[in-house]
Amino acid sequence: MAKGNNSGNNALQRPVKPSADLAAITGSGEITRAGVVSKMWEYIKKNNLQNPENKREIIADAKLKPIFGGKDKVTMFEMNKHLSNHLS
């Protein structure tokens, strides 16, 4: 079956607008949810924000804290929930 751009059902490929806090990491233009997650992981790895003792835990720096609802750290699963609050 051929893949088309008009599937409409794939929420990860639908363009979304990031909040101002999230745009500090992803850029302010429209981006897919998959693109947001990819940019977040790029940022996390570049800035060494994974807990070395528990790689599933992300340590919030000044840019991530507002995205994570003020929390100092979240799990990678919680991160996706927090990201949803910053996409429209």
C-alpha span between 4 and 27 (Å, rounded): 26
Domains and their CATH numbers in the chain: 15-84 (1.10.245.10)
- The pLDDT value recorded for residue 1 is 43
Residue that the structure tokens 């750290």 belong to: 73
- The pLDDT value recorded for residue 13 is 83
User: Block means of pLDDT (10 residues each) for the chain, length 88 residues?
Assistant: 52 88 96 95 97 96 97 95 94
Task: Give the DSSP H/E element, type plus range, for residue 74.
Answer: strand 73-75
